[in-house]
A and B are shown apart, each in its own frame.
Chain A
């Protein structure tokens, strides 16, 4: 079976190399049969890569311990559900997942463009095939991440080593896949941008053709990051969801730059400006997705999120270097063709606020990248290796993030083209009043903390802005069509999916920030060793140690404790955190439990339990408002789905706008 998988991957190398050559030669010579052959190569690549993925999945499911990968990441006792997780538990499977998603996406792109973008497509294919070639080489000829390595017959184990208990969580079924869907999704706009540069077709076709791909990639990366944070929260047991770990940072970076790109292309669409900037942003986003994969999988950094120990670091560095040199060099040679009219009607306009939004997002990405790289820079310059951890990121990102919130609120209040003073005054008065009301009430109700108050006040400002946008739009629709309020709201949303979907995403971001602010600023915690019947008080909550249930399975020894949670003496629920020991791996693991509602989580981790003394070592965290982070994430995803939902009316509007730009440019 392994031979089938490995052969399929070898075929992927050959096919992707052929696809590059056929597409390039076909495009250069105008030979249609070669171009068509290049397109067919994409479908063939998709076929062989999916075959390799199916072979690996079959080997995992059937516990074929003749494969090193299967023996390393599964065991006979592993449930079928987590057998899926084992697919991407190691480097080989992860690289295969990347390649599978890429080849499926590439096939969809070729199918979508069978009757359009014909000049661009051969170059788009060659770029996508070049990326596919890199990943397939890693798994085959470079021998750094081969998932089909076999074990000699006489050394095949009776059972596998099992999955890392950290990965036995539903979040790990979703997080890697969605993150990779996001990462790989950004390859599509990148390939189209490169295609546009190569063919000198630097109009708006590449942006128009990839708008939905970009949104899709952003959508998945958002889900990937949020589910990753949720997984860390419920799995790692330290009571938080974000630790500014280098791996967390590396997946946040493409999200930030990709978000800047999403906003920046709107200016190109509206004003035919920022063409160079948009290409730079998509190049950076793509390179950062490779950087994220590299950091997670190379094992060069110590991180609870880094699950690989590959030797492919130098290959990734070389790939990133070549990509940057090639794409920026190509951009440099086309600068003359990317000149825009670059005219703005007024200094204070929504266009300017979009530029500021881009500045803040890119500045945040820069600050994070700077923090990740500073230890290396410091060591090179001074010889001292310093640590750049959460205190640095919290202090640097917090003020920039608050400015970002402010811009998010201000942006919809400023008119396109030019805002007059009276226009600004009228539009700002209600949101500013809303923010003032919120601040006053927060102070009256005893909420304290400088940063938290600013964050909550800005949240009220932005949410009021968004609510007003919906209220105003609904009111106008009612005036126009005499619909009832719900129908008017529905048609408002349905007829302007992109605009109001975007506002819903913004609302989600703000809800998430409320959750982050509450849980960071007002966290309360305690750790204590308790005997049965004993009570631990944290803030206004009491935790009483009731009982322990100990049992064994084929995989692990389990101690499940039960605690009663009370709020100032009033019963609010029970929690049952678990302590596990995996004898085969000689590894302890904690599974936390929470009593959760919209205002707070009572988060309990059983760090240790001694059957001899009956004592339980317990960590309790009160995390205010943390549920709003997950709710905000859901709202963001919902808004993104609405924004990218197919809309013929919107497509016609955008097409007409681009035609106007083309006419103006010709004139």
Chain B
């Protein structure tokens, strides 16, 4: 029984000190390593926003149809001066939002690399999440239905197995056998 519970992710039998030590060591050492390593990497926020905070959000006007930061033309007549202008303005303290407004005022909304969040364009932003929610509701109802079918199919037993203190109940035996088969 102890083996099946172990294999079934039940940590209770690991109360023995060595088992617990393994778990605690695994729990603490890995996040510690991850955190210390990540913190040692250059992952703290920088003073001025990078050029990409704007160049990732507007389309290069050279005709390449790519976002400005990914324009494949290294000597792009529109893109290179635009990136220099963005860098200068960010250094002067203008925010990415202000620069975005500037470009929209100059070129219209067609310069934006993503649809605005109003009118029909809202459909672009909302549809994926609506689909996800509808899917989530569908999964909820499916699982509820499938679970209740299982319970209805089960014959009522006096002193049902859920209440039985007997550790060797049939369901657990079956589970143990399955898990053992999985494991070995």
- Residue positions of A touching B, CB distance < 8 A: 236-240, 243, 245, 273, 302, 304, 342-347, 352, 355-356, 359-360, 362-363, 366-367, 370-371, 374, 378, 381-382, 385-392, 395-396, 400, 412-413, 415-417, 423, 426-427, 430-431, 433-435, 437-438, 440-442, 444-449, 452, 456, 459-460, 463-464, 467-468, 471-473, 475-476, 480, 495-496, 499, 514, 518, 521-527, 539-540, 588, 590, 598-600, 605, 607-608, 622, 624-625, 653, 656
For B124, the chain A residues whose CB sits under 8 A away are: 370-371, 374, 378, 386, 388, 392
Extra inter-chain contacts (13) besides given A378-B120, A395-B114, CB under 8 Å: A343-B149, A352-B139, A390-B56, A415-B9, A430-B11, A445-B36, A446-B44, A463-B30, A476-B183, A522-B45, A588-B75, A624-B41, A653-B182
A312 to B108, CA, bound (A): 35
The reply to whether B115 and A355 contact each other, CB–CB distance below 8 Å, is: no
B19 in contact (CB, < 8 A): yes
Interface set, chain B 131-184, CB cutoff 8 A to A: 131-132, 135-136, 139, 142-147, 149-150, 153, 175, 178-179, 181-184
Which residues between 39 and 57 of chain B lie within 8 Å of chain A, taking CB atoms?
39-46, 50-52, 56-57
Instruction: Determine the chain B residues whose CB is within 8 A of the CB of A417 once the complex forms.
Output: 175
Known interface pairs A389-B59, A599-B37, A599-B41. Does A496 touch B150 (Cβ–Cβ under 8 Å)? no
**Contact A524-B42, Cβ < 8 Å, known A243-B67, A433-B27:** yes
Minimum Cβ distance to chain B for residue A518 (Å): 6
Instruction: List chain B residues, Cβ under 8 A from A471.
Output: 22-23, 26
Cβ–Cβ < 8 Å partners of B41 in chain A: 518, 522, 599-600, 624-625
* Docked CA distance A521–B49 (Å): 11
Contact A342 B27 (CB under 8 A): no
B101 interface residue (CB < 8 Å to A) = no
28 A-B contacts (beta carbon < 8 Å): A237-B74, A243-B70, A302-B65, A347-B144, A355-B139, A359-B135, A367-B132, A386-B124, A387-B113, A391-B57, A391-B114, A395-B125, A396-B128, A426-B10, A430-B27, A434-B26, A437-B35, A446-B39, A447-B44, A452-B43, A460-B34, A463-B30, A471-B23, A473-B183, A476-B6, A607-B80, A624-B43, A653-B182
The answer, yes or no, to whether B99 is at the interface (CB within 8 Å) is no
Say yes or no: B32 contacts A608, CB within 8 Å.
Answer: no
The reply to whether the CB of B98 lies closer than 8 angstroms to some CB of chain A is: no
In the bound complex, do residue A240 and residue B70 qualify as a contact, i.e. CB atoms below 8 Å apart?
A: yes
Q: Tell me whether A625 and B43 are in contact in the complex, defined as CB-CB below 8 angstroms, given that A390-B67, A437-B31, A527-B83 are known contacts.
A: yes
Tell me the minimal C-beta distance from A467 to chain B in angstroms.
Answer: 5
Bound-complex Cα distance A392 to B122 (A): 11
Contact present for B175 and A426 (CB under 8 Å) = no
Inter-chain contact A624/B42, CB cutoff 8 Å: yes
Contact residues of B with A, CB < 8 Å?
3, 6-12, 14, 18-19, 22-24, 26-28, 30-32, 34-46, 50-52, 56-57, 59, 64-67, 69-72, 74-75, 80, 83-84, 87, 109-110, 112-115, 119-121, 123-125, 127-129, 131-132, 135-136, 139, 142-147, 149-150, 153, 175, 178-179, 181-184
A527 — nearest CB in chain B belongs to which residue?
B83
Most chain A CB atoms below 10 A, which of B9, B18, B32, B71: B9
Q: How far is the CA of A471 from the CA of B9 in the complex (A)?
A: 11
What CA separation (Å) do A222 and B41 show in the bound complex?
A: 27
Q: How far apart are the CA atoms of A625 and B37 in the complex, in Å?
A: 10
Judge whether A449 and B113 touch: CB under 8 Å.
Answer: no
A467 to B31, CA, bound (A): 11
Describe B's contact surface by its main secondary structure. helix
Residue from B31, B39, B125, B179 within 8 A of A396 (CB atoms): B125
* B6 closest partner in A (C-beta): A476
* Residue in A302, A378, A438 with the greatest tally of chain B CB atoms within 10 Å: A438
| Assembled-state Cα–Cα distance A435/B109 (Å) | 42
Does the CB pair B135–A363 fall under 8 Å?
A: yes
Contacts of A366 in B (CB 8 A): 128, 131
> Given A304, A449, A524, A605, which contacts B66 in the complex, CB threshold below 8 Å?
A304
Query: Which of chain A's residues have a CB closer than 8 A to the CB of B8?
Result: 415, 423
Query: Helix, strand, loop or mixed for chain A's interface?
Result: helix
Known pairs A344-B146, A525-B51; A476 contacts B3 (CB<8 A):
yes
B149 contacts A447, C-beta separation under 8 Å: no
Instruction: Report B-chain residues with C-beta under 8 Å of the C-beta of A388.
Output: 114-115, 124
> Known: A386-B115, A434-B27, A607-B74. Contact between A539 and B34, CB under 8 A?
no
Given A347-B147, A471-B23 in contact, is the A427-B11 Cβ separation under 8 Å? Answer: yes
Q: Report Cα–Cα, A593/B91, bound state, in Å.
A: 27
- Min C-beta distance of B174 to chain A, whole Å: 9
Residues in chain A near residue B23, CB distance under 8 A: 430, 468, 471-472
User: Contact between B69 and A240 (Cβ–Cβ < 8 Å)?
Assistant: yes
8 Å CB contact of B113 from A381, A391, A412 = A391
Contacts of A362 in B (CB 8 A): 135
Beta-carbon contact of A387 and B59 below 8 Å: yes
Interface pair B10/A423, CB less than 8 Å apart: yes
**A-chain residues with CB within 8 Å of residue B83 when the two chains form the complex:** 527
With A431-B27, A438-B31, A464-B27 as contacts: A447 and B43 at CB distance below 8 Å: yes
Are B135 and A518 interface neighbours, CB within 8 A? no
Report the nearest A residue to B115, measured CB to CB.
A386
| Interchain nearest-CB distance for A233 vs B (Å) | 12
Q: A435 to chain B: which residues have CB within 8 Å?
A: 31
Using A390-B113, A413-B9 as known contacts, say yes or no to A442 and B72 having CB atoms under 8 A apart.
no
Among A343, A395, A440, max chain B CB count under 10 A is at A343
Shortest Cβ distance from A350 into chain B, in angstroms? Answer: 10
Given the known interface contacts A622-B42, A624-B43, A625-B41, the answer about A345 and B147 at a Cβ–Cβ threshold of 8 Å is yes
B112 touches A448 (CB 8 A): no
Query: How far is B39's CA from A625's CA once the two chains are assembled, in angstroms?
Result: 11
Q: Contact check, B147 vs A442: say whether CB atoms are below 8 A apart.
A: no
A388 vs B84: C-alpha distance when bound (angstroms): 25
Task: Report the minimum CB–CB distance from A626 to chain B (whole Å).
Answer: 10
Given contacts A345-B150, A522-B44, A607-B74, is CB(A445)–CB(B35) below 8 Å?
yes
Q: Given that A413-B9, A426-B11, A607-B75 are contacting pairs, would A441 and B42 also be in contact in the complex, using a CB cutoff of 8 Å?
A: no
